[in-house]
Amino acid sequence: AQTVTQSQPEMSVQEAETVTLSCTYDTSESDYYLFWYKQPPSRQMILVIRQEAYKQQNATENRFSVNFQKAAKSFSLKISDSQLGDAAMYFCAPKGEYGNKLVFGAGTILRVKS
C-alpha cells in the first residue's frame, strides 16, 4: 500500500519569492506517477504538475517545478516568483502504474504575503 507524508502543515512565502513544499511517499511499485494538486479556498481542486517515475528529468510547468528523487522517494514542489493566487492547500498524490487509486497526503496550506 502506498503512503504519503507531507511534513509541513503550513508554509508562508513572501510575494515574488520561492517556496518549496515537501512530500515523501512509500510504494512497492517500480513504475508509478506523482501528482501535485492545488485547492484554492472554496474552489475546485486542480492539477498543478505531474511526474512519471520512469523519467529522470524533473517536470516543469511555468513557475512550478518538482525535485523528484526516486531512490529517496521524495517529490517536492518548488514555486518560483510566488503570487497571491498561489495561496491554497497543496496535496501530493502518487498513483501506481496500474489500478485507479491515488493516495493523497494530508496537505500543506500555503500562505502568500504581500
Q: Does 11 bind other proteins (CB under 8 A)?
A: no
Q: Does 37 bind other proteins (CB under 8 A)?
A: yes
Of residues 88-107, which lie at the interface with other proteins (CB under 8 A)? 91, 93, 95, 97, 100-102, 104-107
Nearest Cα to Cα of residue 109 among 80, 86, 81: 86
d(C-alpha 86, C-alpha 71), whole Å:
29
Q: CB under 8 Å to 16, separation ≥6 — which residues?
A: 81, 82
- Residue number with CB closer to other proteins (6 or 82): 6
Query: In the block, which residue shows the cell 502504474?
Result: 97
The residues of the shown chain that bind other proteins, judged by CB under 8 A, are 4, 6, 9, 33, 35, 37, 43-47, 50, 52, 91, 93, 95, 97, 100-102, 104-107
